[in-house]
Amino acid sequence: MTDDQKYDIYYGYAYSELCQSFYSRLDFVTTFVQLVGGSGAAAGVLSGSPALVGFSGVVLAICAAIGVAVQPSIKAYKHELSKCAFWEIRRKALEDFQGSALDVAIAQAQGASPIGIKTLEDPAYNRTLEMLGYSSGAVPLSRRQRWLRAMAL
């Protein structure tokens, strides 16, 4: 396995892992907020508070819109499959799967990978360097990239 092939495998894994984790957390947060929002709406009805019912309704609508538009649970699952595909290629490469056959397997995994979050590309690059044992070369992250990375970890 060449260094380029190793990098491609590890980067594919790291990027898919960050995207999967982010989408999983987004799914959890929106589901949790919908649960709490539904309870808030019920409490508002029981207490006769139209403001609480209205606020809960807006929060529920926002979370439902995120769930429909983004579909975080589906995207998390697709990134999990991609992550597993890259680690399977790594396993095969460690068992003497090399050369152009390895390049083809990597290209197929890259082509089959779902589109991820562009903002997580640099954090995935830095994570890949860590996984490969490099102590330098990491790119500085913007505030937005640091925030998304923190949400994904």
* Radius of gyration (C-alpha) of the chain in whole angstroms: 20
Q: How far apart are CA 31 and CA 146, in angstroms?
A: 24
31 burial level (CB within 10 Å; 0-12, 13-18, 19+): middle
Would the CA dihedral through 86, 92, 94, 98 be positive or negative? negative
Q: How far apart are CA 10 and CA 127, in angstroms?
A: 9
Q: Looking at residue 99, what is its pLDDT?
A: 85
With a cut of 50, list the residues of the chain below it in pLDDT.
none
Provide the token pair at 7.
């990098």
- The residue type found at 60 is L
Q: Looking at residue 78, what is its pLDDT?
A: 97
Q: Read off the pTM.
A: 0.86
Q: Looking at residue 22, what is its pLDDT?
A: 96
pLDDT 10s digits, 79-118: 999 999 999 999 999 888 888 889 999 999 999 999 999 9
- Chain CA centroid to CA 126, Å: 15
How many residues are there in the chain? 153
